[in-house]
Chains A and B, each alone.
Chain A
Amino acid sequence: MKYIIAVIQPDRLDDVLRLLEEKEIHLVTVSNVVGRGRQKGIAEVYRSHKEAGSLLKKIKLEIAVNDTFLKVAIDAILEGARTGKVGDGKIFVMDLPECMRIRTGETGPVAIG
Chain B
Amino acid sequence: MRKIATGCVIAWLIMCAVGAVAWADEASSTASAVSQAAAAVPIDSGHTTWVLISTALVMLMTPGLAFFYGGLVRRKNILSVLMQCFMIMCIVSIQWVVLGYSMAFGRDISGLIGNLDWMWLKGVGMESSSYAPGVPHQAFVLFQMMFAVITPALIIGTFAERMRFSAFCLFSLLWAVFVYDPVAHWIWGKGGFLGCLGGMGAVDFAGGMVVHVNAGMAALAAALFLGKRRGYPDSISPPHNLPFAALGAGLLWFGWFGFNAGSALQANGIAVSAFMATHIAGCVAGVTWSILDWMKFGKPTTLGMITGAVAGLAAVTPASGFVDLTGAMWIGLGSGIICWISVTFAKARFKYDDTLDAFGVHGVGGIWGSLAVGMWATKAVNAGGVNGLLHGNPMQLLIQAKAVLVTMIYSFVVSAVLFKFVDMVATLRVSDHEERVGLDLTQHKESGYTLLD
How many angstroms from the CA of A53 to the CA of B348 in the assembled complex?
18
Q: Which residues of B contact A46 (CB under 8 A)?
A: 238-239, 301, 303
Residue on B nearest A48 in the bound complex, by CB? B344
Check if B444 is an interface residue, CB within 8 A of chain A. no
Q: Which residues of B contact A54 (CB under 8 A)?
A: 235
Interface size (A, Cβ < 8 Å)? 10
Q: Which residues of B contact A52 (CB under 8 A)?
A: 234
Q: Which residues of A contact B238 (CB under 8 A)?
A: 44, 46, 51, 53
How many angstroms from the CA of A109 to the CA of B395 in the assembled complex?
90
Q: Which residues of A contact B357 (CB under 8 A)?
A: 47
What per-residue 1/0 map shows which CB atoms of B285-299 lie under 8 Å from chain A? Answer: 000000001001101
Check if A110 is an interface residue, CB within 8 A of chain B. no
How many angstroms from the CA of A56 to the CA of B378 in the assembled complex?
54
Q: Which residues of A contact B236 (CB under 8 A)?
A: 51
> Are A45's CB and B233's CB within 8 A?
no
What per-residue 1/0 map shows which CB atoms of A48-67 lie under 8 Å from chain B? Answer: 11011110000000000000
Residues 42-100 of A at the B interface (beta carbon under 8 Å)? 44-49, 51-54
Check if B415 is an interface residue, CB within 8 A of chain A. no
Q: Which residues of B contact A45 (CB under 8 A)?
A: 293, 297, 299, 301
How many angstroms from the CA of A54 to the CA of B231 in the assembled complex?
14
> Are B297's CB and A47's CB within 8 A?
no
Q: Which residues of A contact B301 (CB under 8 A)?
A: 45-47
Across the interface, B233 reaches (CB within 8 A) one of A44, A49, A53, namely A49
Residue on A nearest B237 in the bound complex, by CB? A51
> Are B340's CB and A48's CB within 8 A?
yes
> Are A48's CB and B234's CB within 8 A?
no
Q: Which residues of A contact B195 (CB under 8 A)?
A: none
Min CB distance B313 to A, Å, is 17
Q: Which residues of A contact B293 (CB under 8 A)?
A: 45, 48
Min CB distance A92 to B, Å, is 25
What per-residue 1/0 map shows which CB atoms of B228-270 lie under 8 Å from chain A? Answer: 0000011111110000000000000000000000000000000
How many angstroms from the CA of A52 to the CA of B235 in the assembled complex?
8
Residue on B nearest A50 in the bound complex, by CB? B297
How many angstroms from the CA of A45 to the CA of B340 in the assembled complex?
14
Across the interface, B296 reaches (CB within 8 A) one of A44, A48, A51, A53, namely A48
Q: Which residues of A contact B307 (CB under 8 A)?
A: 47
> Are A47's CB and B303's CB within 8 A?
yes
Check if B208 is an interface residue, CB within 8 A of chain A. no
Q: Which residues of A contact B8 (CB under 8 A)?
A: none
Q: Which residues of A contact B133 (CB under 8 A)?
A: none
Residue on A nearest B233 in the bound complex, by CB? A49
Q: Which residues of A contact B239 (CB under 8 A)?
A: 46
What per-residue 1/0 map shows which CB atoms of A27-52 lie under 8 Å from chain B? Answer: 00000000000000000111111011
Min CB distance B349 to A, Å, is 12
How many angstroms from the CA of A44 to the CA of B234 in the assembled complex?
13
Min CB distance B341 to A, Å, is 9
> Are B343's CB and A47's CB within 8 A?
yes
Residue on A nearest B292 in the bound complex, by CB? A48
Min CB distance A73 to B, Å, is 29
With A52-B234, A53-B238 already in contact, the answer to whether A47 and B348 are too (CB < 8 A) is no
Min CB distance B422 to A, Å, is 28
Count chain B CB atoms within 10 A of each CB in A48, A49, A53 and give the residue with the most.
A48
How many angstroms from the CA of A84 to the CA of B235 in the assembled complex?
30
A-B contact pairs, 7 of them (CB 8 A): A46-B301, A46-B303, A47-B344, A48-B296, A48-B297, A48-B343, A54-B235
Q: Report B's interface with A, CB cutoff 8 A.
A: 233-239, 293, 296-297, 299, 301, 303-304, 307, 340, 343-344, 348, 357
